[in-house]
């Protein structure tokens, strides 16, 4: 299991929200650009972590028979 999948998507989403809040409070255009880049990066991590969480939840719900059928169908 990768390090990123161990951290919940809520953590990354909170960092993205923090960056969005900083964007709103920042007056300088250059600083806004840096915060926007940060927000995009954190949001990407949150989306990826959320996808990994969903995949893990699906894989734990699969029975061995269903998992075997899905594997051979690929």
Could you write out the three-class secondary structure of 27-54?
CCHHHHHHHHHHHHHHHHHHHHHHHHHH
Beta-carbon count within 10 A of 35 CB? 20
How much is the pLDDT for 43?
92
HSE toward the beta carbon, residue 61, CA cutoff 13 A? 6
How much is the pLDDT for 1?
47
Extents of the domains making up the chain: 10-73
74 residues of the chain, pLDDT tens digit each? 455 556 788 888 998 999 888 888 887 777 778 888 988 999 999 999 999 888 888 777 766 666 566 666 65
State the Cα–Cα distance between residues 38 and 61, nearest whole angstrom: 35
43: left (phi over 0), alpha (psi -120 to 50) or beta: alpha
């Amino acid at each position: 299991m990768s390090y990123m999948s161990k951290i919940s998507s809520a953590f990354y989403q909170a960092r993205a929200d923090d960056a969005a809040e900083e964007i709103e409070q920042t007056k300088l255009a250059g600083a806004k650009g840096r915060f926007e880049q940060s927000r995009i990066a954190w949001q990407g991590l949150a989306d990826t972590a959320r996808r990994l969480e969903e995949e893990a939840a699906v894989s734990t719900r699969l029975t061995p028979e269903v998992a075997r059928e899905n594997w051979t169908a690929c």
